[in-house]
Structure 1
Amino acid sequence: MFGQDDKRVYMDASMNLYYPKGANQLFDIPEDLKEVVSEHWAQFPPQHPLITHVFGILFFVLWVINFFGNGLVIYIFLKTKTLRTPTNMFVVNLALSDAIMMFCMGPPVTFNAFVQRYWMYGAFACKVYACVGAICGTASLLTMVVIGYDRYNVIVKGFSGVKITAGKAFIMLVAIWGYSIVVSAMPFFGWGGYMAEGGLMTCGYDYLSQDWNKKSYMWFAFVFNFLFPLALNGYFYTKIVKAVVMHEAALKAQAKKMNVDSLRSNADDGESAEVRIAKVAITNVMLWVTIWSPYAFVNMIAVFGNQLVVTPLVSQIPAFIAKSASCLNPVVYAISHPKYREALSREVPCLGIREEKKCAPAGSDTKGQESVQTKA
């Protein structure tokens, strides 16, 4: 591809990039691919091949981490009988969604990055690639909302909360996937669109087109696939943090009245289960905001703001960061689960994880505390 020809893009021995005078990023793009390539990218010079190669390597690393991380979550939850509960179906679904996303996106981009400087699979494959990413991304976000609701239901509502049975969990998962598929498939039926992203190596939402059809779809996706789920998750975890802080304060007040240091039998073991729950809750929301917000706001800036600030890297980097969520979710939603860690240390001892099951003193009532720890 990169021969030393004054009519083609090439690198010299010092990795300097050369391209024909006046060439832009759309230089030498096939005609049949221009259907999904915005003219917006024509104002930028060709990307340096090393940038493409770096993203190819990063996608490969994400895919490997995703494969083992989510694979372990699915394996452990399905193999361990005590973990096969209705509410844990949501964690497995999150791992499944993330695994599908990177399985479909990691290898094609990695291979493409070292073969061609632009999307090499054709316009229709670009739309399918973007649609799969939209489906899995939406399903993951909505699953995290349901996980937040489940934890809110148990920790805040307690016995007055709605009990989630296997049937209810299954219906909720069907609704999540049904909504994600229908909404993400709309560009194939005339509402919205998909396009090649800034580096021309991946595909996503068409947020650069100026017609109202595309803009209205982006507005819908921003509100109902990002803002509304974020607001729900923020509400659930805010209530969880408030509940555990109030519970912790009540225990300390009662201990003070009884003139003891703590009412907990395991007070010397470090921070309480309530504090751990609060930390996990805050981490969940902060990760959501940190990972998904850059991609969402770059999209909306391009739709309703100044498109000149949306350079190839400004487009490509947030898209990559959003996909990194598929590797972080297993850590946040599974590793924080005590019983999962116990099963992992037992089923996969080669990882070196040592999780000891703590036994409560005879006669002590730990049922309520155990239920809280299990949800942490």
Structure 2
Amino acid sequence: KLVTLSGSMVPSYPFPTVDVPDHAHYTIGVVILAVGITGMLGNFLVIYAFCRSRSLQTPSNIFIINLAVTDFLMCFTQTPTFFINSMHKRWIFGKKGCEVYAFCGALFGICSMMTLMVIAVDRYVVITRPLASLGLMSRRKALSIVAAAWVYSMGWSLPPFFGWSAYVPEGLMTSCSWDYMTFTPSVRSYTMLLFTFVFFIPLFIIIFSYCCIFRAIRHTTRAITKISCEGTRDSAKRFNKMRSEWKMAKIALIVILLYVISWAPYSCAALTAFAGYADLLTPYMHSVPAVIAKASAIYNPIIYAITHPKYRSALSKYIPYLGRLLCVTGRDRFSSSSFQSTRRSTLTSQSESRGLSKPRNSSVSESESAHFSDTEEDSSRTPVPRQLSSDVNQVRHISQRSKVRGHNTGEFERTPVHNPTDPAICLLSQITVSIRVRFMSTCCYLHTLICTMYSTEDVFNLKVIHFQLYYFKCQIGVV
């Protein structure tokens, strides 16, 4: 049996076919195969490196691992089917196969978008509100957020199975997606809500987060630049650390922008059909954007391999051949260690912008400083007495070292008691500030627990205490 399609006679299959040159199918098939192999291999290396390297196993890096998992599964489920159908020039796996294929593409694509949104929000909190984020992100919370992203994605991927829209072949009829071509209330409502809650709202949150990040980093960088003009060694170190954090934020933005740009053509095609101009779309306008969208899975590993020092260092350590292929040098390994505790530098720079230094150990948490931050273990796990003891020991060490230096040189300078440049005095003032901040924070935390467990009548008092804490931090220059 033959049917007429585009003015020619083609065989009739359970799904319709499109009369296009054979080389169009073969070209798309080869491209999607190359994209799939590259994406699976690259994302597997990302997962392997982040799971093997202990320095990369931080709560915020769980989001990076989840993004790599979704990209890997996207390539694993879409590439073989798309390639085989392209070689046959039609869909050969039946209706159920089409539905499963489209469901996997929707699930992993939506989960990737949600993960990118979570990464942007996490970077926003860590960079713009470092004190408020102390101890906020733990491994359990990160896993809970990832699970919520999967549940949310599942909620938007299942409705076509129950009659709200449908999963159908698209483009050259060698791949499947949700039905955005049919002009019916069910299809139009699903398409409108899907784009609103899966694409536009997350995109707005990402844009807002990074606008705030850039604004905060620009403000802090200007403050550090003024301080660095004094020529002190500490100011230079903090300025370099801030530059590293700024670099990480820019790399994270590149990852998100490439993902959005990859899905933009496909979104434009779907929105054109949603607007009622489906007859203007050719089969190529469906299939080519679909290939570009699936290619978003290969960008992240490439960006990491080029720009992420600790990822490059981990690959060279566990896979030496790749280290030579990526030209990993000793400088890269040194850079990977120099990115440690970049979040601590953010707090330091923000404190110095108001003329005071920050507490030494009170600003470290398990959260990273950027898209794939490289912070160490959360020092907030260290008991306060132990931290203060180490600080006091350091004060003694500084004092003894200055005495030995004076004895050896025979020169003894009389230092004023309140000299602000004396290292011991500065460190003691930092310890005092640290104790006061921790005490006030503990009071607010206990008051919050009491109001939560017993009643809500003291909400006003709770707000007053929080305001007092904020005002106190402003006075000492840590906010």
TM (normalized to structure 1)?
Answer: 0.82
Instruction: State the SS of the aligned residue for 2:297.
Output: helix
1:237/1:281 contact within 8 Å kept: no
Tell me the distance in 2 between the aligned counterparts of 1:220 and 1:230. Answer: 14
Q: CA deviation at 1:251?
A: 1.5
Q: CA deviation at 1:247?
A: 1.6
**Aligned to 2:164, which of 184, 188, 191?**
191
Residue in 2 that maps onto 1:100: 73
- Residue 51 of structure 1 deviates from its aligned partner by 0.6
Q: Is the 8 A contact 1:273 1:372 kept in 2?
A: no
Q: Does 1:112 align with 2:72?
A: no
Q: 2:369 aligns with which of 360, 368, 372?
A: 372
Structure 2 residue aligned with 1:157: 129
Aligned residue identity for 1:143: T
Ranges of 4+ aligned residues in structure 1 off by more than 6 Å: 259-262
* Per-residue deviation, 1:296: 1.1
Please tell me the residue identity of whatever aligns with 1:180: S
Task: Report whether the alignment pairs 1:172 with 2:154.
Answer: no
Larger mean CA deviation between 162-171 and 127-136 belongs to: 162-171
Q: Which residue of 1 aligns with 2:31?
A: 58
From 56, 61, 69, the counterpart of 1:83: 56
Cα deviation code 1:313-372 (max 9, x no counterpart):
111111111111111123346764432222122112212231222466xxxx97723963
Distance 1:29 1:141 in 2: 37
Please tell me whether the aligned partners of residues 151 and 375 of structure 1 are also in contact (alpha carbons under 8 angstroms): no
Measured in 1, the distance between the counterparts of 2:216 and 2:251 equals 14
Q: Which amino acid aligns with 2:194?
A: A
Counterpart-to-counterpart distance in 1, 2:305 and 2:178: 30
User: How far apart in 1 are the matches of 2:148 and 2:83?
Assistant: 33
Alpha-carbon displacement from aligned partner over 1:120-171 (angstroms, at most 9, x marks no partner): 1112211110110000000111011111122222111112126111111111
Distance in 1, matches of 2:189 and 2:217, equals 41
CA RMSD of aligned residues (A): 2.9
Amino acid at match of 1:369: S
Secondary structure class of the residue paired with 2:265: helix
Q: How many residue pairs end up in the alignment?
A: 342
- The 1:29/1:225 distance shift into structure 2, 3 A limit, reads farther
- Correspondence for 1:307: 278
Cα displacement (A) at 1:21 = 9.3
% same residue:
31
**Per-residue CA distance 1:263-294 (angstroms, 9 max, x = gap):** 32498x89931441343244234323311111
CA distance in 2, matches of 1:341, 1:194: 40
Give secondary structure in 1 for the equivalent of 2:287.
helix
Q: 1:251 to 1:310 in 2, by over 3 A?
A: same
Measure how far apart 1:58 and its partner are.
0.8
**Contact 2:183–2:276 (Cα < 8 Å) also in 1:** no
Classify 1:261/1:81 alpha carbon distance in 2 versus 1 (closer, same or farther; 3 Å).
closer
Picking from 300, 314, 320, the partner of 1:349 is: 320
Inter-CA distance 234–248: structure 2 relative to 1 (3 Å threshold): same
The partner residue of 1:273 within 222, 230, 244 is 244
Residue-by-residue CA offset, 1:218-253 (whole Å, 9 max, x unaligned): 111111111111111111122112221222111222
Match in the other structure for 2:419: none
Moved more, 148-157 or 226-235: 148-157
Which letter does structure 1 place at the counterpart of 2:11? D
Q: Distance in 2 between matches of 1:79 and 1:215?
A: 46
Answering whether residue 129 of structure 2 is matched by residue 132 of structure 1, we say no
Write the distance in 2 (CA, Å) between the matches of 1:271 and 1:85: 20
Note the C-alpha offset of 1:76.
0.9
Q: Distance in 1 between matches of 2:23 and 2:69?
A: 32
Aligned partners of 2:156 and 2:242: how far apart in 1?
43
Find the aligned partners of 2:204 and 2:165 in 1 and give their Cα distance.
24
Question: Which residue pairs with 1:41 in the alignment?
Answer: none
Give TM-score scaled by structure 2 length: 0.66
Measured after TM superposition, the shift of residue 311 of structure 1 is 0.7
CA contact (8 A) 2:309 2:333 kept: no
Asked if the contact 1:66/1:98 (under 8 Å) is kept, the reply is yes
* Farther-moved stretch of structure 1 (244-253 vs 331-340): 331-340
**Counterpart check, 1:227 vs 2:200:** yes
Counterpart Cα distance in 2 of 1:177 and 1:21: 41
